[in-house]
């Protein structure tokens, strides 16, 4: 889950890695850019903080493996690249045009 503060954490000041549990996400910023930092096991990822669909808050989304799902419409993004892997999900088991599935 994201930090509850309305003011995003300034990641340029550093963050204690213990503040982020496995599968967790934090909303922060680097300069003027809002960033999502997520932890998967011993790996940490940083991507843009908002969904490209309706600017949904990805820090409130679900981290699954190396992906994050938007809490608004379940679009799926790679934590490794920030790339959209699947558009908004309207039915169970749906995949995008390229056949990429979000676990």
- Would you say the pTM of this structure is higher than 0.95? no
Q: What is the pLDDT of residues 85-99, one digit of tens each?
A: 988 755 555 454 444
Phi, psi angle pair for 82, to nearest 5°: 80, -5
How many other C-beta atoms lie within 10 A of the C-beta of residue 22?
Answer: 11
Q: What is the pLDDT of residues 52-86, one digit of tens each?
A: 888 999 999 999 999 999 999 889 999 999 999 98
Cα–Cα distance measured from residue 21 to residue 103, given in angstroms and rounded to the nearest whole number: 20
**CATH for 9-86?**
2.102.10.10
């Amino acid at each position: 889950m994201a930090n509850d503060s309305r003011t995003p954490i300034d990641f340029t000041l550093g963050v204690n890695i213990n503040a982020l549990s496995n599968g967790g996400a934090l909303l922060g910023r680097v300069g003027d850019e809002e960033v999502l930092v997520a932890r998967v096991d011993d790996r940490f990822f940083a991507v843009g903080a908002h969904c490209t669909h309706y600017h949904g808050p990805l820090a409130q989304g679900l981290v699954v493996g190396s992906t994050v799902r938007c809490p608004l419409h379940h679009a799926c993004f790679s934590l490794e690249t920030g790339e959209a892997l699947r558009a908004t999900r309207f039915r169970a088991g749906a995949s995008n045009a390229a056949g990429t599935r979000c676990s």
